[in-house]
Amino acid sequence: MGSKVKIATELAELIKTDNVGGKERLPNTETHMKQWCAHFATDEKSIRTILNNLRDAHYIFIINIVLPDPNLYLPSIESYAFADPSILNDLKRYSENRLEKTYESTFYKKKSPFQITRELFPKIKEFNNSAMGKCLNESVMLDEFIRVLTNTPVEFSDQWRASKLREIYSEEEEETPHIEEELASKARAIDQPIGKEYIENPKSAWSKITNNFSIEFLLRIHFRKYEFDVVKKLIQKGKIQSESDLKFIRDTLQLMESRTNQDPILKRHTTEMVDLRRLSQTKLNILRASLKNH
């Protein structure tokens, strides 16, 4: 676990260095992924896993600057900001300055960052994969991240982050090695007898926290923070498997999907919400069929 934590924190420091004085300032998957893969001698999938873990441990923020478009064979592009108030404020000034210049060169007139955002953000999809769209996404999301960090400063302290990162990698090592194959087997043949269920390690971080808080309470927190991938991981690893919890996830996501027009940030996570809702429904179907045939 120690080596994994060391690699993750090293990647966080590389992002921080770029944020402070790099040529790009906001490194992204398009410009930096190959560099990181070469630096750590690993593949893109592994680097993305590390980046997601760093986000979950509050070392970095991830900005979706380009949304994927299967019809155009367009992959998503993400940029990365180190979660530090002075760095984020500096990056916000940098991104707003770039937004002003991009707007002026595109429309041949000057406007303030606030005016530009108010004018263009409601139709952000029209600017997907353009210089304007990338600048607009970064400017808006950096402003949102500054608010998040200001509202929960304790969760962005060095001590909290280090503890959380160790917890994440500790949980990965604690997982039962055959759980994913077992779930996949159930998905392929839901009419087969119920197999061996996942048994939670009583000493794991998840087991300890669910002794003090209900799963529904923890899920509400993840949803408020748009951490749909965290909930997905919990389901896939068998940590959330009861019918009531799966129904809560499905029903909550249906409600959230109906409110995307009221929350521009939530709207960015539409694909994640749909995927998670379908996963929870699939697990419900498997569970119900297994109980019926048992």
Model pLDDT for residues 106-120, shown as the tens digit of each residue = 999 999 999 999 999
- 181 pLDDT above the threshold of 50: no
Model pLDDT for residues 256-284, shown as the tens digit of each residue = 888 877 777 788 888 889 999 999 998 88
pTM for the full model?
A: 0.60
Model pLDDT for residues 9-23, shown as the tens digit of each residue = 999 999 999 999 888
- 180 pLDDT above the threshold of 60: no
Model pLDDT for residues 100-153, shown as the tens digit of each residue = 999 999 999 999 999 999 999 888 888 888 999 999 999 999 999 999 999 888
How far, in Å, CA of 36 to CA of 38, rounded?
A: 5
- 92 pLDDT above the threshold of 70: yes
At residue 61, the pLDDT reads: 94
Q: What percent of the chain has pLDDT over 70?
A: 85
At residue 276, the pLDDT reads: 92
Model pLDDT for residues 68-85, shown as the tens digit of each residue = 877 777 888 999 999 999
Q: How far is CA 246 from CA 221, 277, 283, in A?
A: 16, 9, 8
